[in-house]
């Protein structure tokens, strides 16, 4: 199995972390971005290169099956055992053990000493208290005081406590992160588009318990005839050309109401699964849905994690939630690529997109946001498309939004221009930089391409620019100047060369950028940089630069 560039970078980041620190790292890769191949490669290296033992923990049998499958592809000769009541296996004594946390959490002594514990969906580890994960990991620490824990997740935060990584937590720091936006741009995830329902539930009346809406109240709110009839009508209307529609309901009664309405009113078959569905019935329903024999599938609290159906090209959210993680996991079921699938439509009947923002810019209290202000999305009043808040015109129907009203004064000082054509400048520290070949949408085949540069300046917050090496005239001159400011290498002629050199480390690191915002402009602009030192130009035996260092075979744990 050939790893993608970011998967290889994630693995290298883990090894560097384990070698240079004595605490525990976390990898952040979006849903459908390929966490399992990275995990399988770490397992293979730990056993074959360094003679270690590894335990993989997950909370649902689907994730255990995926891990076993990828391990077999990456290293078919590895001895792998499975310990899971759901899979009816109790394998122990293997170099690699894949275990369900519910089955193994009281059996650390039976598992024995391992060098690495890898936790899939690591955001489920509670920040404090007991719980199965914390109980088991504490006992594993007693069996082997030197055991290290590696977490993998798409959502490195919890609704109430914020980041899952902290000095006193099981996981202590994110060692690698790649975002939804980069993987969509690079062609590894499916683009999303969103529409809101025409009838809006009044969630202001709902009570909150433990940071989430009270479940019974949510179901009662969403299970009215008007809301169900309207939502089902719009689901059928918007999915005439869609192949596989996954619906998230607010409760069992609500889900059965939705499935029955689709069957009786619209004469379409709709499957239904929940926690009470018998295993054989659930497995057969999911098989039919994956095989595209069943177009509509409604579920309650079942298919948010671990469910892999790449053919899903529409997700209907009939469940309001205050949890950005749950919202992300539901929407993430549509991220996977599939032949003939150009995008995934998200039908939001619970106001979740407006509440949490786009999935590549989630608003999470304590992480990249102070929790105040509107979410970075808005709904078109004409076609109900949900789009980024900065659009002046709806890209779906052409509706022109009125200019925003401006307050006469603010309670705190601001750098915003006092007049509409004055600009403000903000400096952002750059946490990571990503490079990719960019082809303009609907451009002719012979059109020049650009190198897209994405600067991560906060949790899932990016600022982008485009460098035009393949253009002529002034655009090429600017690209040449941009390159020479950062590199001792010759200026590339093609975008592939530019990206390859950038990924090899030929460019000076960008420490900070200054972004100019002008209210009259459609986009913000980067107008200043703080750069590190230009890297030297090492030569290999064949005269080509060698920016990636020789592989370090020192045991990282």
pLDDT of 34 higher than 70:
yes
Contact between 205 and 213 under an 8 Å Cβ cutoff? The reply is no
pLDDT of 232 higher than 90:
yes
Cβ neighbours for 196, distance < 8 A, ≥ 6 positions apart: 348, 349, 351, 353, 354, 379, 384, 386
pLDDT of 540 higher than 60:
no
Least confident of 191-195, 348-352, 442-446, 484-488: 442-446
State the pLDDT at residue 159. 66
pLDDT of 375 higher than 60:
no
Residue 359 — very low, low, confident or very high, per pLDDT cuts 50/70/90? confident
Report DSSP letters for 134-178, one per residue: HHHHHHHHHH-TT-EEEEEES--EETTTEESB-TTSSB-EEEEE-
Residue listed under structure tokens 């592989």:
551
The CA distance from 501 to 492, in Å, is 9
State the pLDDT at residue 539. 56
Report DSSP letters for 523-556, one per residue: S-EEEEEEE-PPPP----TTS----SPPPP-S--
Taking only the tens place, the pLDDT of each residue in 104-139 is 888 888 889 999 999 998 888 887 767 889 899 999
**Domains of the chain with bracketed CATH:** 5-178 (3.40.50.300), 190-388 (3.40.50.300), 424-531 (no CATH)
Taking only the tens place, the pLDDT of each residue in 283-317 is 999 999 999 999 999 999 889 877 889 999 999 99
Q: How far is CA 364 from CA 183, 212, 323, in A?
A: 21, 13, 9
Sequence length of the chain is 557
| Greatest alpha-carbon span in the chain | 74
Residue 407: strand, helix, or coil: coil
Average pLDDT rounded to a whole number, residues 364-378: 51
Residue 20 — very low, low, confident or very high, per pLDDT cuts 50/70/90? very high
pLDDT of 358 higher than 90:
no
Q: Check residue 3 and report its DSSP letter.
A: P
For the chain, percent of residues with pLDDT exceeding 90: 47
Burial of 433 (0-12, 13-18, 19+ CB in 10 A): middle
Contact between 52 and 68 under an 8 Å Cβ cutoff? The reply is no
Cβ neighbours for 508, distance < 8 A, ≥ 6 positions apart: 485, 486, 487, 531, 532, 533, 534, 535
State the pLDDT at residue 551. 55
Residue 388 — very low, low, confident or very high, per pLDDT cuts 50/70/90? low
State the pLDDT at residue 473. 83
Average pLDDT rounded to a whole number, residues 209-229: 93
pLDDT of 391 higher than 70:
no
Q: Which residues partner with 117 through β-bridges? A: 55, 149
Burial of 371 (0-12, 13-18, 19+ CB in 10 A): exposed
The structure tokens listed for 493 are: 């002629």
Nearest to 151 by CA among 186, 175, 130, 167: 175
The CA distance from 504 to 547, in Å, is 5
Contact between 39 and 45 under an 8 Å Cβ cutoff? The reply is no
Instruction: Report the predicted TM-score, pTM, of the whole model to 2 decimal places.
Output: 0.69
User: In the predicted model, what is the mean pLDDT of the chain?
Assistant: 85
Taking only the tens place, the pLDDT of each residue in 470-521 is 998 888 888 998 999 999 999 999 999 999 899 888 999 999 998 887 766 6
pLDDT of 407 higher than 70:
no
Average pLDDT rounded to a whole number, residues 171-186: 90
Residue 416 — very low, low, confident or very high, per pLDDT cuts 50/70/90? very low
For the chain, percent of residues with pLDDT exceeding 70: 87
The structure tokens listed for 371 are: 């929790």
State the pLDDT at residue 411. 34
State the pLDDT at residue 312. 96
């Amino acid at each position: 199995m050939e790893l993608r560039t970011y998967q290889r970078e994630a693995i290298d980041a883990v090894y560097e972390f384990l070698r240079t620190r004595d605490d525990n790292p976390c990898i952040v890769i979006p849903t459908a971005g390929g966490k399992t191949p990275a995990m399988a490669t770490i397992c293979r290296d730990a056993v074959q290169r360094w003679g270690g033992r590894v335990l993989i923990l997950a909370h649902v049998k689907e994730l255990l099956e995926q891990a076993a499958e990828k391990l077999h592809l990456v290293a078919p000769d590895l001895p792998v055992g499975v310990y899971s009541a759901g899979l009816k296996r109790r394998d122990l004594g293997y170099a690699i053990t894949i275990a369900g946390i519910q089955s193994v959490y009281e059996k650390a002594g039976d598992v024995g000493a391992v060098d690495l514990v890898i936790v899939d969906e690591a955001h489920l580890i509670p920040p404090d208290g007991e719980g199965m994960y914390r109980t088991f990991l504490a006992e594993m620490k007693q069996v082997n005081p030197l055991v290290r824990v590696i977490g993998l997740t798409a959502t490195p935060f919890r609704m109430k406590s914020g980041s899952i990584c902290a000095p006193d937590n099981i996981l202590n720091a994110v060692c690698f992160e790649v975002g939804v936006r980069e993987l969509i741009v690079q062609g590894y995830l499916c683009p999303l588009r969103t529409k809101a329902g025409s009838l809006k539930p009044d969630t202001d009346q709902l009570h909150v318990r433990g940071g989430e809406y009270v479940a019974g109240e949510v179901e009662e709110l969403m299970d009215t005839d008007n809301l169900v009839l309207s939502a089902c009508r719009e689901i059928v209307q918007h999915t005439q050309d869609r192949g596989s529609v996954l619906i998230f309901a607010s409760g069992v009664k609500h889900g059965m109401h939705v499935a029955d309405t689709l069957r009786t009113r619209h004469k379409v078959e709709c499957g239904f699964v929940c926690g009470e569905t018998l295993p054989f019935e659930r497995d057969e329903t999911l098989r039919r849905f994956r095989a595209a024999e069943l177009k509509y599938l409604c579920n309650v609290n079942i298919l948010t994690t671990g469910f892999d159906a790449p053919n899903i090209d529409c997700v209907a959210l009939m469940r309001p939630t205050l949890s950005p993680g749950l919202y992300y996991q539901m929407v993430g079921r549509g991220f996977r690529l599939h032949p003939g699938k150009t995008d995934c439509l998200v039908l939001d009947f619970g106001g979740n997109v407006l509440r949490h923002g786009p999935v590549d810019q989630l608003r999470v209290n304590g992480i990249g946001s102070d929790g105040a202000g509107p979410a970075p999305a808005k709904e078109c009043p004409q076609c109900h498309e949900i789009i980024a808040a900065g659009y002046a015109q709806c890209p779906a129907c052409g509706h022109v939004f009125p200019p925003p009203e401006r307050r006469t004064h603010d309670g705190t000082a601001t750098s915003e221009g006092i007049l509409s054509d004055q600009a403000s400048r903000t400096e952002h520290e750059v946490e990571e930089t990503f490079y990719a070949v960019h082809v303009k949408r609907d451009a002719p085949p012979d059109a020049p391409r650009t190198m897209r540069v994405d600067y991560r300046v906060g949790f899932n917050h990016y600022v982008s620019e485009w460098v035009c090496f393949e253009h002529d005239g002034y655009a090429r001159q600017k690209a040449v100047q941009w390159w020479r400011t950062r590199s001792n290498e010759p200026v590339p002629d093609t975008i592939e060369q530019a990206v390859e050199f950038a990924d090899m480390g030929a460019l000076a690191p960008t420490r900070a950028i200054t972004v100019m915002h002008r209210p009259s402009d459609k986009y913000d602009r980067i107008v200043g940089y703080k750069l590190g030192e230009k890297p030297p130009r090492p030569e290999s035996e064949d005269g080509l630069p060698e920016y990636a260092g020789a592989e370090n075979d020192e045991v990282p744990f």
